[in-house]
A and B are shown apart, each in its own frame.
Chain A
Amino acid sequence: MKVGLAHLGVVTYVIASAALVFAFPQSVLAFLFFEASLLVIYYATIERNTKVCLSALVLLVLLPLLGSVNGYFLEIAIQVAIFVTLALGLNIVVGFVGLLNLGFVAFYAIGAYLWAIFGSPQANQFLPGNLFPLASGWFFPFLILSVGVGAFTGALLGLPVLRLRGDYLAVVTLGFAEVVRALVNNFDRPINITNGPKGITPIEKPPLFFQPLLEFFGLKAEPSVIYPFYFYFIALLIVMLTVLISRRLEDSRIGRAWKAIREDEIAAAAMGIPVVRMKLLGLAVGASFASAVGVLFAAKQVFINPESFTFMESIGVLAMVILGGMGSIPGAILGATGVTILNLQLLKGLSLWLNSVRQSGIVLSIPLLGNLDLSQIPAQFEPAKYERMVFGLILILMMAFRPQGVLPPRKRGH
């Protein structure tokens, strides 16, 4: 293997950006630089194996290390991983099959409530025997169960509308998500299943089965210290699995059938592709990703309520897929990371900055306009409150100027 300039540059970037975060553990900007290292690795002209090794170094070693310096970075990484999984799921539905699903968050909610209801005392409200909450060991079986439940509801939803034109599906999925939210919001009576708007808490976390092992190596840590790292690695595992499944599906017979349907449904049907069955499969696979990651979300949050599953979230995930490039796996990952960071770090950071400006009490005197008292800026201007405007602009501008996204799928020759 020849070590060239590209290798040197990438390695330097990774180390330098990590060092920067260590030096300034409170700096959002430093962390952004570090996050960009994955992009640098992806774009660098180096061998595949080196890329994999470097990415593993960043994700498995450096990021947890940085997380031990500032726990907030770990929280962001978990959030990013959750949204990457959602975006990959929606990417299958919108990107591969070409069906617009505007209620994707419904499947996420189904997964989250599946674990929340049985992993908390909530299920005692309607099931006899005081069996709940289930032991934390049930987390992993439920993760697998949620894949099945998500796939089933996804297919069930598609059944009545797939024979119709695409626009109807968009509105029906949107309506379905609202129905799910309304049900979750109101099913605290006649039988209390979801505890309504008050939400469910406390939800069991996954089991710490490896704790004896840690103690064997002399690592004694409180569960509250272990859990962020643990969740990070579970989230990473789920992302890896979804990437793997997406990739394998994309290159399979099924993936080719999906793309054929997306490009020309009539021609695909003429070629003998079972169009409706393939569409159902696409909806089911996408929904199962969302539902599985919902289980993780519920366990991580400990508390969930219907507010986490609004139309806003569905559009957010759609914006991620579109920004990255419909039908492109690296695009979905990039879009999810970018939008999540924009939401969690940039907009919130700007809001904090605006608040500090307001509290500084400085009065600017601008020629012609007179004095501007900065403390008079109303709180309504916080950028974090305008995420709809940001998502809206992303969607309009992308459609107008680059409908194929930032990282469009590669056209492969035969």
Chain B
Amino acid sequence: MELALDILPQVLVDGIVLGFMYALIALGYTMVYGVLEFINFAHSEIFVLGAFVGVEILLLLESGGHFATLHTAFVLLLVILSGMLASGLAAMALERVAYRPLQGSPRLVALISAIGASFFLQDALRFFESLWRNTFYLTYPTLDVLDKTVPLGFNVVVPVKSLLVIVTALATLAALYLFVNRTKLGTAIRAVAQDPDTASLMGIPVNRVIALTFFVGGAMGGLAGVLFGLHYSLVNPYSGFFPGLKAFTAAVLGGIGNIPGAMLGGMVLGMLEAFAASYLSILTGGHFGAEYKDVFAFIVLILILIFRPKGLLGEKVREEGA
């Protein structure tokens, strides 16, 4: 057990980082589910798009030799904001092109269209990068500051990039919480989620609010994408599949349609996964290793659906007949 305790702080940090990542992506699923009641399957590609916009900007800055002249904080801010903007706009465009024409048709139709959009976007991104860089496996350039570590006492050392993920995600989540609960636009989003018809009667422009929801959810996904790239370095057009699937699991875990639920679900799933990755092998005497961490997430999903189908914080279900 000596060994198990030694790695505990590292596992906790990994879990928190992963948890924030999942929480940010899960928000996109949960917000869209809230207003449209359907799974935006292409959200994982919106996430990847953010990662790609981030890497492209960093590569451009690097090749232009701007890393030396610009302050790293400014570079990071620029990358994060452009990733968020690009993903938000892409999510809005996606809604306009692939989902809005299908309003009023059965849910299966919209879901299948979303799967199609997801596949199309993956290869579109691959095509573009093949044309532009002749490869679609990209690596984030190293920013020296991010690879430094900060000692926190008790032999715990935290890399700056993990701190970056944690601080950025916390700030954004707090801002989102305030936006949804304290502003007029946020109230409009909640109203549409509760009952679109009545919201429309109250003078809320429902379609515009839906577009706004896609923008906000997409921007959260884009932020997660940039942070993912900064933290794990490698991105390719298909790297959104697993994070997307797990973030969806996180959204269901917290109660889909429920914004604090998505944050909680992401954190719980990230922690579970980090612990599974590190301790599964120790607990089973080396028989089952970290390769089962993906399986673990789905087993969690199935267990929740059996025992607590509404998630940890309960699902915001629209009234029947609405």
Mask: chain B, 241-277; 1 = CB below 8 Å from A; 0 = not = 1000100110010000000000000000000000000
Mask: chain B, 301-312; 1 = CB below 8 Å from A; 0 = not = 110011001000
Choice from A189, A386, A395 contacting B112 with Cβ under 8 Å:
A395
Q: Does B150 contact A (CB under 8 A)?
A: no
Q: Are A392 and B119 in contact (CB under 8 A)?
A: yes
Q: Does A164 contact B (CB under 8 A)?
A: yes
Q: How far is the CB of A382 from chain B (nearest CB, A)?
A: 10
For chain A, give the interface size range.
35 or more
Q: Are A394 and B134 in contact (CB under 8 A)?
A: no
Q: Are B295 and A389 in contact (CB under 8 A)?
A: no
Closest A residue, CB atoms, query B294:
A182
Q: Does B116 contact A (CB under 8 A)?
A: yes
Closest A residue, CB atoms, query B291:
A186
Given contacts A171-B252, A388-B122, contact A399 B39 (CB under 8 A): no
For chain B, give the interface size range.
35 or more
Q: Are B305 and A168 in contact (CB under 8 A)?
A: yes
Q: Does B117 contact A (CB under 8 A)?
A: yes
Chain B binding surface SS class: helix
Mask: chain A, 141-180; 1 = CB below 8 Å from B; 0 = not = 0000000000000000000110110111011101110110
Q: How far is the CA of A204 from the CA of B39 in the complex (A)?
A: 43
Q: How far is the CB of B136 from chain A (nearest CB, A)?
A: 7
Q: How far is the CA of A83 from the CA of B116 in the complex (A)?
A: 20
Q: How far is the CB of A321 from chain B (nearest CB, A)?
A: 10
Most buried by B among A179, A189, A389, A392: A392
Q: How far is the CA of A186 from the CA of B134 in the complex (A)?
A: 33
Given contacts A175-B302, A380-B134, A396-B117, contact A164 B309 (CB under 8 A): yes
Given contacts A175-B298, A380-B134, A392-B120, contact A399 B113 (CB under 8 A): yes
Given contacts A171-B248, A172-B301, A179-B298, contact A311 B241 (CB under 8 A): yes
Mask: chain B, 281-322; 1 = CB below 8 Å from A; 0 = not = 000000110011011011101100110010000000000000
Q: Does B213 contact A (CB under 8 A)?
A: no
Given contacts A175-B245, A400-B102, contact A166 B287 (CB under 8 A): no
Closest A residue, CB atoms, query B136:
A380
Q: Does A116 contact B (CB under 8 A)?
A: no
Q: How far is the CB of B121 from chain A (nearest CB, A)?
A: 8
Listed A/B pairs (24) with beta-carbon separation below 8 Å: A160-B305, A160-B306, A163-B309, A164-B305, A166-B107, A170-B111, A172-B301, A172-B305, A175-B297, A176-B298, A178-B295, A179-B294, A182-B295, A318-B112, A380-B131, A380-B134, A385-B126, A386-B127, A391-B119, A392-B119, A392-B120, A394-B116, A395-B119, A396-B113
Interface residues of B (CB under 8 A from A): 38-39, 98, 101-102, 105, 107-113, 115-124, 126-127, 130-131, 134, 136, 241, 245, 248-249, 252, 287-288, 291-292, 294-295, 297-299, 301-302, 305-306, 309
